[in-house]
Amino acid sequence: MVGLLFPGQGSQYVGMGRDVCAAEPDARETFEEADDVLGFALSRLCFEGPESDLTLTHNAQAAILTHSIAIHRCVAAALGPTGMAAGHSLGEFSAYVAAGALSLADGLRTVRRRGELMLESGESRSGTMAAILGLDEEAIAAVCEEASASEEVCVAANFNAPGQVVVSGDVGAVERVMELAKAAGARRAVPLNVSGAFHSPLMEVAEAGLADQLSSVAFSAPSFPVVSNVTGGPVTAVTQARELLRRQLTSPVRWTECIGTMRQHGIESFVELGPGNVLTGLLRRIDRQARCRPMGTVAEIEGIAA
């Protein structure tokens, strides 16, 4: 059985979904539904930009979820039975929509609200993120602890692959972590262009608002297990899904563990559904024996059908 991977924020690009909507009725209907649910032309924003608007947190999250589900609807039958699914941060919501646990409409409203809350949190308390390459998790934990003070904090936010960890927190603390990491032997420390300190304690205000939003939408049991970013384990229960999606905003994304769980459950072949191929690249770093194909364009869809 195949494992489904759904990308997170940062994978969006102007033109995403345009070719698929021109060729595939299922994709076109998905984007039209998103336009109706959100009350504005998300499809036009995806197809034409401007990039400055598309990259806004609340727009990017809705755009990526829509593209991911449009692709899933186009290829689900050709892929055959799904064993498990996982999504990176925002992508976990896409996974639950694909699994039938959330409707597309409720998923869109929720990630749109999630993006607004994240943006507001970043505006109320300035934060940032940085990618640290070439240090192990223990070393990163040590430099985060050293760089954090009572007024400022920096934590590991994304365990993306061995030797690739993203840190998140107050601007000053993140800057100190970058310097300490380089001194400790990191190959690179790269600041990220983000609007806040995602997956850190700085998102606590947003987490409360997201809890309210999640309580207002209907959940069903997913038709296949969705692996949680928070625990790295499979989720099949409604109450667990709702709670872990809430906690996700202030918890690290344990992506390496998510992939490990899927491999332990026998998943050998993966597809990345949505814009870009970031997760395909991370999978190669995590497990060179696993196979993954990105699936976000007409050419890629035709390839899987063949």
Domains and CATH numbers, the chain: 2-122+201-305 (3.40.366.10), 127-192 (3.30.70.250)
Question: Which pLDDT value is given to residue 209?
Answer: 96
pLDDT band at 302 (very low <50, low <70, confident <90, very high): confident
Question: Which pLDDT value is given to residue 303?
Answer: 75
Residue 281, C-beta contacts closer than 8 angstroms, at least 6 positions apart:
none
Tens of pLDDT along 121-134? 989 999 999 999 99
Tens of pLDDT along 244-270? 999 999 999 999 999 999 999 999 999
pLDDT band at 304 (very low <50, low <70, confident <90, very high): confident
Q: 3-state SS string over 11-43?
A: CCCCCCCHHHHHHCHHHHHHHHHHHHHHCCCHH
Q: Does residue 199 have an active-site annotation?
A: yes
Note the residue count of the chain.
306
What's the burial of 238, exposed, middle or buried (CB within 10 Å: 0-12/13-18/19+)?
A: middle
Q: Does residue 148 have an active-site annotation?
A: no
| Rounded-to-integer distance, Cα 148 and Cα 189, Å | 17
Tens of pLDDT along 91-121? 999 999 999 999 999 999 999 999 999 999 9
Name the nearest CA neighbour of 148 among 173, 128, 166, 168: 173
The gap from C-alpha 199 to its chain's centroid, in whole angstroms, comes to 11
Percentage helix, strand, coil, to 5, in the chain? 55, 15, 30
How much is the pTM? 0.96
Name the nearest CA neighbour of 246 among 216, 285, 270, 279: 216
| Rounded-to-integer distance, Cα 272 and Cα 291, Å | 11
For tokens 């639950």, name the residue.
Answer: 96
Nearest-5° Cα angle at 10, 217 to 190: 130
Name the nearest CA neighbour of 214 among 249, 243, 240: 243
> Is residue 214 within 8 Å of residue 206, measured between CB atoms?
no
| Rounded-to-integer distance, Cα 162 and Cα 145, Å | 20
Q: How many CA atoms lie within 13 A of 86 on its CB side?
A: 28
Tens of pLDDT along 71-97? 999 999 999 999 999 999 999 999 999
148: number of Cβ within 10 Å:
18
> Is residue 53 within 8 Å of residue 46, measured between CB atoms?
no
Computed over its alpha carbons, how large is the radius of gyration of the chain?
18
Name the nearest CA neighbour of 197 among 228, 242, 155: 155
Marked catalytic residue, from 58, 67, 88, 199: 199
Marked catalytic residue, from 11, 89, 94, 121: 89
Buried/exposed 261-296: b ≥16 CB within 10 Å, e otherwise: bbbeeebeebbbbbbbbbbbbbbeebbeebebebbb
Q: Is the dihedral of CA 214, 216, 217, 221 positive or negative?
A: positive
